[in-house]
Amino acid sequence: MTSIMDESEWSSRYRESNTKWDLGRSPGELLEFMRMQPAERTVLIPGCGRGYEISDLRRLGHSVCAVDFSEEAIRAAKSVIGDFADEIICGDFFGCDLPLGSFDICYERTFLCALPEELRERYGERIASLLKDGGVLAGVFHYGQPEDSDPPYPMTDDDRAHLLEGHFSLIADDPYESGLPVYSDHVERWQVWGKK
Ligand SMILES: C[S@@+](CC[C@H](N)C(=O)[O-])C[C@H]1O[C@@H](n2cnc3c(N)ncnc32)[C@H](O)[C@@H]1O
């Protein structure tokens, strides 16, 4: 049974700097992946938190649309990425108005594993609807046996089939080296999923 962390609970975490999930930088795996892109890409970042990736991807020449529903997260982003934080859309990723079929890449880091069950169920469909044909979902995915009622929730193999494989096909699966102690009981993989 997953618990629901609403906007106010996430905001409290940011206010109290209780943000153990925060890497403090963009993962090297993302930067390497983006440097391999042959052209400018439009990148969607759901649940962007402090959004280090926004400034890095913009500097690499890509366009970025980042979303987070926590005003405190966006305030915290402002303190680390400055004016780039002004571009973050403050809203519920599942309800806000985003252009369908318009992103090349959706970048995932610790958003899926933070969602309660009913939103996890909508994740694959929502992201697939926002990606262009030929678009990819790329990032770090968490595997293991969920044990706590609070996030983060790793995926079992059954979860992965249920949550992702209806909308995406796995096209790359590599080790992820930028892990944090808070995820030490998860198996973290850098994966790229192609939209079906
Ligand atoms: C574990 S944090 C990860 C933040 C960021 N991706 C990172 O790697 O540091 C999860 C983030 O998702 C945001 N979030 C959770 N549910 C959301 C929703 N339905 N819509 C938008 N943002 C959401 C939270 O406010 C929080 O910033």
Rounded Cα distance between 105 and 42, Å, is 6
Mutate to test the pocket of ligand 1, among 68, 75, 120 (most ligand atoms within 8 A of CB): 68
What pLDDT is attached to residue 1? Answer: 53
What is the predicted pLDDT for the residue at 3?
A: 64
Separation of CA 30 and ligand 1 centre (Å): 18
Mutate to test the pocket of ligand 1, among 52, 55, 65, 70 (most ligand atoms within 8 A of CB): 70
What is 7-195's CATH superfamily?
Vaccinia Virus protein VP39 (3.40.50.150)
Ligand 1: residues with CB < 6 A are 10, 21-22, 47-50, 67-70, 73, 92-94, 109-111, 114
CA distances from 14 to 9, 56, 60, 137 (A): 9, 22, 28, 26
**Distance separating alpha carbons of residues 169 and 156, to the nearest angstrom:** 17
- Spatial contact of 44 and 65, defined as CB atoms under 8 Å apart: yes
* pLDDT value for 148: 78
Each residue's pLDDT, cut to its tens digit, for the chain (196 residues) gives 556 789 999 999 999 999 999 999 999 999 999 999 999 999 999 999 999 999 999 999 999 999 999 999 999 999 999 999 999 999 999 999 999 999 999 999 999 999 999 999 999 999 999 999 999 999 999 999 988 778 999 999 999 999 999 999 999 999 999 999 999 999 999 999 999 9
CA distance 164 to 150: 22
The pLDDT score that the predictor gives to residue 112 is 98
110 contacts 140 by C-beta, under 8 angstroms: yes
**Residue 5 has what pLDDT?**
83
- 125/139 Cα distance (integer angstroms): 17
Three-state secondary structure readout of 16-57: CCCCCCCCCCCCHHHHHHHHCCCCCCEEEEECCCCCHHHHHH
Helix (H) or strand (E) holding 116: none
pLDDT of residue 75: 98
> Which residue, chain included where needed, has tokens 């973290």?
188
Closest Cα to atom 25 of ligand 1: 70
Q: Whose CA is nearest to atom 12 of ligand 1?
A: 47
